[in-house]
Chain A
Amino acid sequence: MKRFILAFIAAYIFIFFWGWLLNGVFLKDVYAQTPNLWRPQSEMMSLFHWIIIGQALIVFAFVMIYASGFAGGGVMAGIRLGVLLEIAAIGMRLGFYAVQPFPGKLIFYGSASGLIEMIIVGAIVGAIHKPAPARAA
């Protein structure tokens, strides 16, 4: 349980800062080109707690899936799970691209950065979370 919580906290800290760096710094100009797609900055700040809860839910589910079926495989198993989850996320982004007026480069940047993000999250979780050792009878 302790390892689970540690893995959750470490992965959450990474996802939070990665999200800020990517969306708040690197892609800021791309977002500025499509202001009609986004809430005004003040409104976003008033809903910021949903971002925190959403990120926590993603990390929690990631660590749960890892702990239930991948634990013991270490860093490589975590990375594999991260890549698998990102394949699904790319599928979801393509669905959004078909129905919302997102610029193609935003989908591309989002998918490329998402892949990097999930590989690192997987590595963090795989490195920290270890299955409990079997007790001798």
Chain B
Amino acid sequence: MKAVFSIALGILAAIGGFVDIGDIIFNVAAGATFGYQLLWAVVVGVGGIITYAEMCGRVAAVSEKAVFDAVRERLGFSTGLVALVAGELVNLLTIAAEIGGVAIVLQLLSGLPYRALLVLAVVALGLILWLMPFDWIERVFGYLGLALLVFVVAAIKLHPDWSEVAHGFVPSPGTGSGWVYAYFVVGLVGAAMIPYEVYFYSSGAVEERWTPKDLGTNRANVFVGYSLGGLLSFALMISAGALLLPQGIDAQLLGTGALVAQSALGQIGLILALVGMLFAVSGAAIDSGFAGAYSIAQFFGWEWGKYRHNAGAPRFTFAWIVMLLLGFLIVVTGVDPVLVTEISVIFSVVALPLTYIPILLVANDRAYMRSYANGVVANIFGVFYLVVVLVIAVAAIPLLLLSNMGQG
């Protein structure tokens, strides 16, 4: 019973922690631009993160290696370093976007000036990471992120045409501009498969000293947690599609999503949406800051992990502090966080093969994985997503330019 409870808590944290600013921006914008036609892209993205994270969790449980341990061992120093630098640059953009997102939500809640809120956000996040234990951080931000479930209620209340919604789960060439449609497909899959999530997940598995006995927990977290997290993405897209598309409203602001919840459910909807966004995006800022520190520490062999306490892993601690600060410096220039979000997602897509491929290789390597190497099913999905990841990596930047960043 206790084990079931503990797994359930893990799943809840995974659901609430699934959504970050990239998912919010892309799903609401996709709904406003294409209605329900891109729901299938979210399914592809969720399938991708499930496949990728399950492999990472299994690799961590069986070989005790996190992503960048595997990347360096498999690709060697030079190529591994390219993967690291690309991953870190992209991760930095993600951190900046999340910090900016936190400040925007705080501004919508409080009316205080944006730059002051940026400072508040980074200081608060830094203090939380410095003082609070790892699992407290995960639980609190994960649970409070569940406030985003308000969008599920909003989606229902807005009375979408459910048969049209159902059609959206079947891939079809959308109406309107082909380049914009393709851009959104890449953005939605990229936002769902954003790399910091797997770096964080796999490092967490090693921190918690998973063994093959934990493979069940791995599957539960990943299958149930991320699927239900995908539900939140659907809700964002469906409610935006039901309300914004008919009125010809683009969704270029973070507040537009909150406005959708407010229109459907009044003040309580607004508050829950803003609170949910606040904790989902803050949680993502924390996770991506840590992910950056995990990656560099793993690559160079430094001691790492929040479980080692701040002084127990000095260079790791210093690394996440620096990453938060650099992220802050990027957004304090006044650059639009929504713009940074879109760029970070698109560039993440470009860098994705560099870490996906080594994990797929390690997951198949019997020397590392013994009897737990990829079976037929894992490889069918693993190879399918390898193709997906390579195609979108090549298409991402051209589509960014051809679609004028989704504006057409």
**Chains A and B belong together in one complex:** no
The interface of chain B, by Cβ under 8 A from chain A, is none
